[in-house]
Amino acid sequence: MSVLVGKKAPKFSATAVVNGGEMVENFSLDQYLGKKHVVFYFYPADFTFVCPTEIIAFQDKMEEFDKRGVAVVGCSVDSGFSHWKWLQTEKKDGGIKGVKYPLVADNAMIISENYGVLAGEYDMNEDGESTFNGTPMAFRGLFLIDKEGTVQHQVVNNMPLGRSIDETLRMVDALQFFEENGEVCPADWHKGEKAMKATQEGVADYLGKK
């Protein structure tokens, strides 16, 4: 599994479903360069159990992401049609109807592999045949990408462990505060709290006032 923090986010062009039902080809994160921060996250599969709780939780917080100028994009190894079908399914039936942000189709598993979250790998058996070892799904990876396309934060959970959308927002606030003010954000920092200068004096001043 790779650490992408400090590196350019891997590029891709793929099918995605946007606005809750519009299938688009050649969807890319490049459209946000110079314009928006991006939260790009992976989930294992459509029509599962933990996944809809995360996907809907992101949608429920979209007003907060929009206020911060952040695009949210989800991705799994399912096809575009699978995404579309799930987006048309009512929540009471296990669906995610009402989700509007883009869901990318990575059915070739290349995007997941390039981001280092694929829960397995391709190999060759003794007969020279291509095989896949592991689970052909993505772990719950999340990447916060700045306007220049550089990954500033990543977290990867195993499949049973759902993520905190509030923590994602906290990391967005920390990154944007640093970009705007040049001060660094200490442990458990939240928007509106005191930050500190990245110097020994700054640390001493911060700790002395806690």
- HEC-encoded secondary structure of the chain: CCCCCCCECCCCCEEEEECCCEEEEEECHHHHCCCCEEEEEECCCCCCCHHHHHHHHHHHCHHHHHHCCEEEEEEECCCHHHHHHHHCCCHHHCCCCCCCCCEEECCCCHHHHHCCCEEEEEEECCCCCEEEEEEEEECEEEEEECCCCEEEEEEEECCCCCCCHHHHHHHHHHHHHHHHHCCECCCCCCCCCCCECCCHHHHHHHHHCC
**Known active-site residue 185:** no
Q: Are 5 and 153 in contact (CB under 8 A)?
A: yes
pLDDT of residue 75: 98
Give the mean model confidence (pLDDT) for residues 196-203. 85
pLDDT of residue 205: 80
pLDDT of residue 210: 63
Q: Which domains does the chain have, with CATH numbers?
A: 14-162 (3.40.30.10), 164-210 (no CATH)
The structure tokens listed for 200 are: 């020994």
Q: Catalytic one among 4, 9, 14, 51?
A: 51
- Cα separation of 104 and 80, whole Å? 7
Q: Is the pLDDT of residue 202 over 80?
A: no
Counted residue by residue, the chain has a size of: 210
pLDDT in tens, 55-102: 999 999 999 999 999 999 999 999 999 999 999 999 999 999 999 999
Residue type at 107 in one-letter notation: N
pLDDT of residue 73: 98
pLDDT in tens, 120-146: 988 888 888 888 888 999 999 999 999
Query: Best-predicted range by mean pLDDT among 118-132, 147-161, 196-210?
Result: 147-161
pLDDT of residue 42: 98
- Cα separation of 171 and 189, whole Å? 9
Percent of the chain predicted with pLDDT > 70: 99
pLDDT of residue 154: 98
Give the mean model confidence (pLDDT) for residues 9-20. 98
CA torsion sign for 59, 120, 80, 94 is: negative
Residue type at 90 in one-letter notation: E
